Amino acid sequence: MKFSEVIQKLWDDFNVAYTDANVFKWSVWWSLSFSGYVLVSHYIQLHWEEIEPHSEQSPLNGAVESLATLLSAATIYAIGRVNGDWDKYRDIIMAIVAMGLGVMLYFLSLTKSLTKSYVYYIIFCCTYQTMATISSAGVAKFLKRNCYALIFGFNKLIGYILIIIFTIIIVEDKLFSFDIRQQVKHVLIFILYNQKLLSIRRLIKNTIQ
């Protein structure tokens, strides 16, 4: 097969996938949530370092990261065994979860307690991994089998582009000069706020229909 034919085949698959409203909406949700999760993961260590001098508790950053991973895996496994009508309630669940994550990250950015910060972070990781699994399933069920890598790879690319944009604007821009706590609050809440609006808009649209 010629290179031009390969490119045309990729474009055809790409076009067919993203013209499907279900694939598009779940892809947008996935890219936004992925970028938010990566930023949280990158910022959380700096956030904890800022809290540590004001806390009497010994830092358990590594243990908390490990616990978050283990509990996330357990949560995903448990959700996978639940027999429910995800197609019917997925939008409602996503809207509620997006709003909850936005509020949780806001309090995470404000707290000066390591214990509370650890708890917020673990809950955030477990919730994100569970919702990412559900949204990935929402995308995959509308794709041809040979399109999985193309679409999920592109969604991840969009997520990284969002991360780069927010990093340039909030972290590198000297105009704002945000400290770590302000960066956590403004960058992450902005991403989750957009995700929340998307979920609410989708929920309202489905309710009207």
Which pLDDT tens digit goes with each residue over 106-147? Answer: 788 788 888 888 999 999 899 888 888 877 877 777 787 778
Class of the CATH domain delimited by 3-208: mainly alpha
Whole-number pLDDT of residue 39: 81
Q: What is the pLDDT of residues 173-197, one digit of tens each?
A: 554 555 655 655 655 555 555 555 5
Mean pLDDT of 10-14: 83
What residue spans define the domains of the chain? 3-208
What integer pLDDT is reported at residue 64 of this predicted model? 92
DSSP 8-state code for residue 59: P
The answer, yes or no, to whether residue 150 has pLDDT greater than 80, is yes
Q: What is the DSSP letter of 171?
A: I
Q: Which residue has the higher pLDDT, 87 or 159?
A: 159
pLDDT, tens digit (0-9, with 9 covering 90-100), for 62-72: 899 999 999 99
The total of other beta-carbon atoms located within 10 Å of residue 134's CB is: 19
